[in-house]
Amino acid sequence: MTSGIRFDNVSVAYGGNVVLDSLDLTVEPGEVMALLGPSGSGKTTALRAVAGFVRPASGRVFIGGRDVTALPPHRRGIGMVVQNYALFPHMRVEDNVAFGLRAQKVPKGEIPARVTEALELTGMAAYARRHPRELSGGQQQRVAIARALAIRPGVLLLDEPLSALDAQLRSGMLAELARLHRELPDVSVLYVTHDQVEALTLADRIAVMDRARLRDCGTPQELYRRPRTEFTASFVGNANLLPVTVAPGAVRFADRELKVPVPAGAVPGAGATLCVRPHLVGLGDGPNALRGTLAEVQWRGATHRLYVDVGGHRVMADLRELRDPPRLGAEVTLHFAPDDAVLLAAGVTP
Ligand SMILES: Nc1ncnc2c1ncn2[C@@H]1O[C@H](COP(=O)(O)OP(=O)(O)OP(=O)(O)O)[C@@H](O)[C@H]1O
Ligand SMILES: [Mg+2]
């Protein structure tokens, strides 16, 4: 089955309240797209619109180039793992996995082999006769994924599939999902999460949602290195967001001039925000030196995080090789390379 998903100006409203606002987004065939955003931002709603469980107020949904907006869920060729992966508790694993095949009227004789194939993909073939209550959380998760894969979908929709698992199991399952996708390279995946590590690890591209709208979309590297909005900068990784004023070829921050790349369209005198990642800020003299007072130090295992007050603004620096951090209240100098800063917002980006 051909895959790929396209949202064409899709809006969803409940009782007049718009919870998904004019979404335009394309997931290429075989691509893993993460939908990342805070609680209530409309991620599950977007997934349900693809699955056919919610009817858009306007706009169209395409799967594999075909307009499916009016099609019922079982005719869309999708596999879905819902937010709490509800397995049918009274059914054995094999019957859970066979469920979608029966609904699709797959010939009876073919079902056992298809069930085994799906369970083997997720490493659960040995558990076919068990009931869900006899499985761990991670095993139930695998069965839920097997159930979604059994119908050989062109599109796989995963809604926070790892949220119920503890941290260690989650990182194991992340590796599993990556392997699964290598084995099924033609399946397009829409992966909802509010965990940036999952999004950065698994996704070819990340769509950032906030308050019913798509705010940003790009590869993990693009969003991390060149975020376009403050929301993306702070949601994908940590960020210093410094209020600055645009000057020709530079910006002014707390009475200092900082050399940073200034986009051609930036208006001198306009206010803007400068994004600098804390791990790209160094201690000591260097380009774009910022003198300030050390306000706080946090030891985080691999790094120390320094909080430095610079002209009334707090600047974070994550330092790896710091043996003895300076004393609190000491005068310190931070610096960052011009190319490690990104100018955002106000008079710059739309
Ligand atoms: N059936 C419904 N009736 C009314 N409002 C709904 C319904 N389903 C969702 N909403 C509202 O739509 C908004 C978006 O919900 P959605 O489930 O898409 O968020 P989400 O991004 O998946 O959040 P979470 O990370 O908490 O799962 C929320 O404000 C929610 O309360
Ligand atoms: Mg949700």
pTM over 0.75: yes
Give Cα separations from 305 to 195, 326, 340, 345 (angstroms).
Answer: 22, 12, 18, 26
Instruction: Verify whether ligand 1 is closer than 6 Å to residue 45 (CB atom).
Output: yes
Is the confidence at residue 347, as pLDDT, over 50?
no
| Residue 350 one-letter amino acid | P
Which one, of 26, 36, 44, 33, lies nearest residue 237 by Cα?
36
The percent of residues in the chain predicted with pLDDT above 90, rounded, is 73
Kind of pairing between the strands at 290-299 and 304-310: antiparallel
Give Cα separations from 223 to 19, 27, 32, 195, 297 (angstroms).
Answer: 24, 17, 16, 15, 28
Is the confidence at residue 168, as pLDDT, over 90?
no
pLDDT band for 126, please (50, 70, 90 cuts).
very high
Q: Are 237 and 276 in contact (CB under 8 A)?
A: no
Model pLDDT, residue 85: 65
| Residue of minimum CA distance from atom 2 in ligand 1 | 14
Ligand 2 center–CA 136 separation, angstroms:
23
**Span 28-85, pLDDT tens digits:** 999 999 999 999 999 999 999 999 999 999 999 999 999 999 999 989 999 998 877 6
**Ligand showing the shortest atom-to-Cα distance for residue 37:** 1
Model pLDDT, residue 350: 38
Instruction: Verify whether ligand 1 is closer than 6 Å to residue 44 (CB atom).
Output: yes
- C-alpha span between 231 and 24 (Å, rounded): 19
Q: The dihedral of CA 145, 149, 151, 156: what is its sign? A: positive
Model pLDDT, residue 2: 62
Is the confidence at residue 345, as pLDDT, over 70?
no
Other Cβ atoms less than 10 A from the Cβ of 328: the count is: 11
List CB-based neighbours of ion ligand 2 within 5 Å.
44
- C-alpha span between 323 and 214 (Å, rounded): 43
- C-alpha span between 258 and 337 (Å, rounded): 10
Probe target for ligand 1 pocket from 11, 20, 43, 83, with the most ligand atoms within 8 Å of CB: 43
Instruction: Verify whether ligand 1 is closer than 6 Å to residue 193 (CB atom).
Output: no
Model pLDDT, residue 1: 53
One-character DSSP codes across 259-292: -----TTPPTT-EEEEEE-GGG-EESS-TT-EEE
Which one, of 264, 347, 346, 282, lies nearest residue 318 by Cα?
282
Ligand 1 center–CA 44 separation, angstroms:
7
**Span 238-294, pLDDT tens digits:** 899 999 999 988 999 998 999 999 988 888 999 999 999 999 999 999 999 999 999
